[in-house]
Every structure is written in C-alpha cells, then in structure tokens.
Amino acid sequence: MEHHTKPWYRQFWPWFVISIPASSVVVGTVLLSFALTTKDSLVRSDYYKAGRMINEQLAQQRAAGAAHLRASLHWLSDVNQLVVTLDGRPPTWPGHLELELNHPTLAAQDRRWQLQRTGETTYAAPVDASPPQGRRHIRLYPPDHVWLLDARLELDLANQPSLIAPARPGPNLDG
C-alpha cells in the first residue's frame, strides 16, 4: 500500500503559517512609510510662547469678567455674514474685533476673522464657507488685547447662535 503525500509547498497549512508574519511585514512597511511621509499637525507651533503668556491671558480674561462681557455668534448663511453681538461694559468699544475658531486637533480647520463694527454692539465679517461644526476653541478679543473672551464650545452655528461667556479665571498668578 503506497501512501502519496503532497510536497509541503502544495499544502494549505504551511502557507497559512507563513502568511501571518508575511502580512505583518507588509502592514508594518505600509505604516512606516505613512509615518515617514506625513507631517504631524501642530495646532499651535508657538506653544512655548503661548505657555509663557498664560498670566497675560488670565489678566485679559479677568478684565472681560470685570466688564461683564458676553458675546453671541450668529452665522447668517443667506447674506454670507458672521455677526457677533457683544454685551457688557467694555472699557472702549473698538472699531473691530478679532475672532478665532480653532479646531482642537486639525490646524487646517482653524479660521480667523476680523470683525468690523456695524452697530452699537454688533460686529460682522463676510464669510465664504459653510459654518464650522463640532468642538472649537473660540477666542474673541480687541486689537489692543485689553480683554479676552475664551471658550471651548460645541458649535452648531447653522442652526443656533453660540454664546461666549468669560471663563472663570483661576487664581491670580501675577505675583
């Protein structure tokens, strides 16, 4: 009685066992090439300088709180305009404000506008894109940086306005 067995390279199990480390090598090579060819997105490239300015920002936030400043954002798609209504008693009513909407992790989605004063307490800027959605870090301040409204909000500007209130400042670290 003769027993014919196939050579090893014609059987299933050796190839199955070989395929596991082979697929690991392929996946590892793809991930390595991806890691080497793409650039990490730093949301703030000047993070060291920003860290050193924390006391100044806290003072600006305290100034906004002392002036009882609040702002509401309205995205008017029909006229392609972003309108900010400012409530409170700022030291002066500036001719324009700076507004930053920063994505937490994707710097490419950060937006910045210079809002021109259009009324007693309203500021507006033209917009050309759809309103940003999702979590954003919002900063609103005058050109002289006397005060700062700083908030992290979940935005849905297409459907409802968003309110920016002054953050509760931490302890006085000015010395």
Dump pLDDT digits (tens) for 104-148. 888 888 889 999 999 888 999 998 877 788 888 889 999 998 998
74: Cβ contacts below 8 Å, ≥ 6 apart: 82, 83, 84, 85, 157, 161
Residue 85 is encoded by which pair of tokens? 């209504």
Show me where the domains of the chain are located: 9-37, 58-164
Phi, psi dihedral angles at 87 (to 5 degrees): -115, 145
Q: What is the pLDDT of residue 51?
A: 77
Residue 147 is encoded by which pair of tokens? 């005060």
Comparing CA positions, the residue from 159, 148, 167 lying closest to residue 86 is 148
Q: What is the pLDDT of residue 173?
A: 43
Task: Report the C-alpha gap between 90 and 69 in whole angstroms.
Answer: 7
pLDDT at 168 over 60: no
Please check whether residue 129 is in contact with residue 95, taking contact to mean a CB–CB distance below 8 angstroms: no
Looking at domain 58-164, which CATH architecture does it have? Sandwich (2.60)
Tell me the C-alpha to C-alpha distance, in Å, between residue 144 and each of 44, 53, 83: 21, 15, 21
Per-residue pLDDT, averaged over 161-169, amounts to 62
Please check whether residue 85 is in contact with residue 72, taking contact to mean a CB–CB distance below 8 angstroms: yes
Q: How many CB atoms lie within 10 A of CB 163?
A: 13
Confidence of residue 41 (pLDDT cuts 50, 70, 90): low
User: Which pTM was predicted?
Assistant: 0.66
